[in-house]
Amino acid sequence: MAKPVRGIVVPVVTPFNADESINEAALRTIVDYLIANGVHGLFPCGSQGEFFALSTDEKKRVMDLVIEHAAGRVFVMPSTGAITTRESVELTRHAERSGADAVSVITPFFIKPSPEEIKQHYLRICESVSLAVLAYNNPGRTAVPLTPATIAAIAQEAPNFVGVKDSSGDLQNTMAYIEACPPTFRTLMGRDTMIYAGLCYGCVGAVAATANVVPDLVVGIYDAWKAGDHALALERQRALSPLRQAFALGSFPVVVKDAMTLIGLPAGPARAPITSLQGEARAKLIAILQGLGKLP
């Protein structure tokens, strides 16, 4: 890998204009904001980046912009997963040509491949590039779980299959990845409320959507843990919890975008049919941001 995958990684939002076109200037502004607040890596075209709402060409453009503007200041790990192996290979090859440090590949979704089909899917992607490839387990969204046995089997056959982001919310599953795979394998916590727990068990970092809004707080959990100050890390983890729980106030992925807009970041709207929070839900989000010191 050009840069090590570790620390706090942000699934960067894709900012849109009012007409739902990509706001490229805003994306550069957000990248600068995140890097200035100490994040270790950027994860464009992930779930929070609305990859499901982007065309293939738009995904390529977003990853190009983030890689170019990051300019080596942090590592960039685009999400290159797709329903078909063919499209995922295309996106992964593009990421490699663009200078990505690694890629993260979510399982196919809508369809339900068998464990062997999943294994061959990842092996073909890994064989198509020399780039580091990490899997992305998010069964709540895809309904396709990545078992520890499957992950371990892929890691045995593909030297550039180096890690997994686990968004299952099941710490036992995360622990099983760590135990089943080689010591050099990198497991990233994908549930914001479990960053501290994951680090304690052996995760090398976390991919945290809330870091779009409060990167300093999320990085602070990691920094305190690295310094051995577990009390402070846990305090910061608990402070973050209300924002993550606020995801239930609206349809994914609008809560993070609305929170960013409220604190003055140009996240723009989500693509239709998802709409911004209104009424009581919006008031609750404002109160949470006030509690975090992000609004007066």
pLDDT of 187 higher than 80? yes
Q: Using one digit for the tens of pLDDT, what is the confidence trace for 18-41?
A: 999 999 999 999 999 999 999 999
Report residue 113: phi and psi, to 5°: -65, 155
Q: 265 Cβ partners below 8 Å, 6+ apart? A: 29, 30, 33, 212, 213
Task: Say what the pTM is.
Answer: 0.95
Number of domains in the chain: 1
The answer as to whether 191 is a domain residue is: yes
Does 267 map to a domain?
no
Q: pLDDT tens-digit profile of 128-168?
A: 999 999 999 999 999 999 999 999 999 999 999 999 999 99
Does residue 262 fall inside a structural domain?
no
Supply the CATH number for residue 216's domain.
Answer: 3.20.20.70
CA torsion, ordered 146, 150, 152, 156, to nearest 10 deg: -130
Q: What is the pLDDT of residues 49-79, one digit of tens each?
A: 999 999 999 999 999 999 999 999 999 999 9
With respect to residue 32, please indicate whether it lies within any of the assigned structural domains. yes
Cα angle at 46 between 37 and 240, to 5 degrees? 45
Q: Residue 67: which domain range? A: 7-229
Give the pLDDT confidence of 203-236 residue by residue, as tens digits.
Answer: 999 999 999 999 999 999 999 999 999 999 999 9
Give the whole-angstrom CA distance, residue 231 versus residue 97: 43
Could you tell me if residue 72 is inside a domain? Answer: yes
Taking CA atoms, 143 is separated from 14, 106, 170, 266, in Å, by 24, 11, 14, 32
Please identify every residue annotated as catalytic. 136, 165
Asked if residue 97 has pLDDT above 90, the reply is yes
Query: Encoding tokens for residue 174?
Result: 């995360």
Identify the CA nearest to 42 among candidates 82, 72, 16: 72
| Residue 112, domain member (yes or no) | yes
